[in-house]
Amino acid sequence: MTNFKRISLVILPISILNPYSYGQKEQNKSRPNIIHIMTDDHSFQTISAYGHPLSKLAPTPNLDRLANEGMLFQQAFVENSLSTPSRACLMTGLYSHQNGQRQLGAGIDSTKTFFSELLEQAGYQTAVVGKWHMQCEPKGFDYYSVLNDQGDYYNPSFKTKDSHGKYIREEGYATNLITTHSIDFLENRDQNKPFCLLVHHKAPHRNWMPEAKYYDLYENTEFPKPSTFYDDYESRCSAARTQDMTIDKTMTFIYDLKLNELKDTPPYNQGWSDGGLQQAMNQMTPKQREAWDKSYHARNMEFINKMDRLSENEILDWKFQRYLKDYLRCIKSIDDEVGRLLDYLEKENLLDNTIIVYTSDQGFYMGEHGWFDKRFMYEESFRTPLIVGYPKAIKAGTKTEALVQNIDFAPTYLSLAGVEKPSEMSGVSLERLFSGKTPKDWRKDLYYHYYDYPAVHNVRRHDGVRTDRYKLIHFYGKGLMGEDQDINCNELFDLKEDPTELNNLYGKRGYENITKQLQTTLDNYRKNLKVDEF
């Protein structure tokens, strides 16, 4: 058992002090347990239940099991494709400008109500394990064991309520340790209470360092490039060209691609020092480092010894394959650990009365448009995987095309717990979709807003709206990095005819009416949500 103490049930002498105490045992039988599993940067393309060509070569059987026994959301999206803002949306049910967390780093308005606080008040035992990544203490949790900042893949440090503010290093692989801490909580919880457990994995966040047992996985697999890999961004606004997130130019040989043998070879040694790969390797035990070198060194030297003879395209091909293989090796461990958690719940007869949600804090580029990372409102980063298992309400194999967003999680969990949603929460409960039928009054469009500029990857600020078929994006703001110019530019895409978003239709003949309709929708979002910049 790791860093967990049994939490005792406190019996209040006067039941009126707790409005939920009346009929507690009866409520506990009807109110479901809640498990929210969230990975960091997991693309829907790499979950085989979604049927993408990549995932057919790297299947995810345990995530598929959850999808086959539950519900697969085909059109799930985020409000702001960035880690910390996404986590703030989850906790508050609010848009970024409403909860304060518009960018990475500082920003969260910790006076806003977290759904965990309301569940705790309603008699739930609450816990969060893994990545927290907000600059406030976990709020509304009986138990937490959270990583330091982004966390390390190998031998990470965790902080708990009992560690007095200190992060304590543990030996092991982060994905495995996070599941172990989660199961520890379940083993030692107060069984007289329903529980809400947030399982927040570090993986597969950059720089994609796999579990040792998977160092050689997929080594003989050739992953296909997406059709947009060599995108020239010709029809798009300048933002698509001035970004700094290409596999070709941005991805580093050492930090990202693990060629630590180049640490003394400029200019390839970018990312070795200053908290890069060197720090990650220094975290390893001698035995772990020996296993790493055994798998990576020979492959690295084979590539390094022929680099001078390779063309630019051949080097780019190698970079893409190394990136995909390491990323998908991390996904394999995620899938294993989801399976381990599902097996535990099944063994303890907890599956029937537990809603299990699997999602990511946003999507990720698997080479589409030549990119990795996220941030843009284009589909691969805007869209996120979402799978929900809940046998009491969802039939096995259900799918939905309804438009949903990460601001909907908090209202959903409150609704399931029988807690009234605060009036200020912008999201809506997903419960009405569990039948597989989309209500006629369900939302017909979504609002998106990205704020984090100037910043790493140089993605310009933009907002926009998406319907089931069309998307309007508006890039705006002063150019503040290098040669960036001020920008005020629009893009319109017909996702039915152009799902890869290569053909900007804005200003073209024949699209005047749909442009006007979408602009009106966008203006209404800005007005009704009181958006203060665009």
pLDDT tens track for 433-466:
999 999 999 999 999 999 999 999 999 999 999 9
Q: How confident is the model at residue 274 (pLDDT cuts 50, 70, 90)?
A: low
Q: What is the pLDDT of residues 323-379, one digit of tens each?
A: 999 999 999 999 999 999 999 999 999 999 999 999 999 999 999 999 999 999 999
Q: What is the pTM of this model?
A: 0.94
| pLDDT at residue 393 is higher than 70 | yes
Within a 13 Å sphere around the CA of 291, how many CA atoms are in the beta-carbon half? 13
Helix, coil or strand: residue 26: helix
Q: What are the chain's domains?
A: 31-208+327-434 (3.40.720.10), 241-323 (no CATH), 447-528 (3.30.1120)
For residue 142, the surrounding DSSP H or E stretch is none
Task: Return the pLDDT at 23.
Answer: 42
Please state, in angstroms and rounded to a whole number, the distance separating the CA atoms of residues 147 and 83.
14
φ/ψ (deg, to 5) at 43? -80, 145
Amino acid at 181: H
Q: What six digits make up the tokens of 387?
A: 């799978």
Residue whose token pair is 């006629």: 440
Residue whose token pair is 């296909």: 224
Look up residue 225 and give its DSSP letter: P
Q: What is the pLDDT of residues 189-244, one digit of tens each?
A: 999 999 999 999 999 999 999 999 999 999 999 999 999 999 999 999 999 999 99
Q: What is the pLDDT of residues 483-520, one digit of tens each?
A: 899 999 999 999 999 999 999 999 999 999 999 999 99
Please state, in angstroms and rounded to a whole number, the distance separating the CA atoms of residues 190 and 31.
15
Please state, in angstroms and rounded to a whole number, the distance separating the CA atoms of residues 296 and 291.
9
Please state, in angstroms and rounded to a whole number, the distance separating the CA atoms of residues 410 and 320.
37
The rounded mean pLDDT for the chain is 93
| pLDDT at residue 6 is higher than 50 | no
| pLDDT at residue 2 is higher than 50 | no
Q: What six digits make up the tokens of 459?
A: 């993605």
Q: Answer whether 175's CB lies under 8 Å from 104's CB.
A: no
Q: What is the pLDDT of residues 21-50, one digit of tens each?
A: 334 444 556 899 999 999 999 999 999 999
For residue 121, the surrounding DSSP H or E stretch is helix 115-121
| CB under 8 A, 24+ apart: contacts of 529-534 | 529/95, 529/97, 529/98, 529/426, 529/447, 530/97, 531/97, 531/449, 531/463, 532/97, 533/451, 533/461, 533/476, 534/449, 534/463, 534/474, 534/476
